[in-house]
């Protein structure tokens, strides 16, 4: 990043998982997976993100299969290799105050890492992650 390129903090995005299997009948909520419709929804969301030039620099998902599947499809459709991290702080039973404090800390941490690495900023003309030139850096959380 040159001195003339403005540094921008990463954006936050919270993505709800795609449509999932119906619960009940002995299937615990924590084991529900995406339906075919849910997989299509994840793919369509990725297309919209690409058009908006959002570039995930980190992706966090709850441990629930439907959230992880949504994140994996999203990244695959964007052809991005980004670390996908599971964290129980964003599962349905999690304490909201704890989750918000954690997210605030992550934003600061990622922003510091980007600044230290002199990552290209939006509009710099330099390809970002996944080759999306001038993309907006994004912290993506996939949850319920």
Per-residue pLDDT tens over the stretch 78-97: 888 888 899 999 888 899 99
Banded pLDDT at 77 (limits 50, 70, 90): very high
- Class of CATH domain 11-21+29-121+130-143: alpha beta
pTM to 2 decimals? 0.76
- Mean pLDDT for 35-59 is 90
d(CA 114, CA 116): 5
Greater model confidence, 114 or 64: 64
> Facing residues of 127 across strands?
133
Greater model confidence, 118 or 30: 30
Rg of the chain over all Cα atoms, to the nearest angstrom: 16
């Amino acid at each position: 990043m040159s001195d003339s390129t403005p540094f921008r903090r990463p954006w936050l995005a919270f993505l709800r998982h795609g449509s999932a299997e119906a619960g009940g009948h002995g299937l615990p909520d924590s084991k529900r997976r995406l339906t075919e419709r849910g997989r299509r929804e994840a793919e369509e969301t990725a297309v919209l993100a690409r058009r908006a030039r959002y570039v995930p620099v980190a992706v966090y998902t709850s441990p629930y299969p439907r959230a992880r599947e949504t994140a994996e499809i999203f990244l695959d459709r964007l052809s991005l290799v980004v670390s996908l991290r599971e964290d129980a702080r964003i599962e349905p039973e999690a304490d909201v105050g704890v989750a918000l404090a954690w997210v605030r800390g992550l934003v600061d941490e990622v922003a510091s890492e980007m600044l230290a690495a002199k990552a290209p900023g939006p509009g710099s003309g330099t390809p970002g992650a996944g080759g999306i030139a001038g993309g907006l850096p994004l912290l993506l959380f996939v949850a319920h």
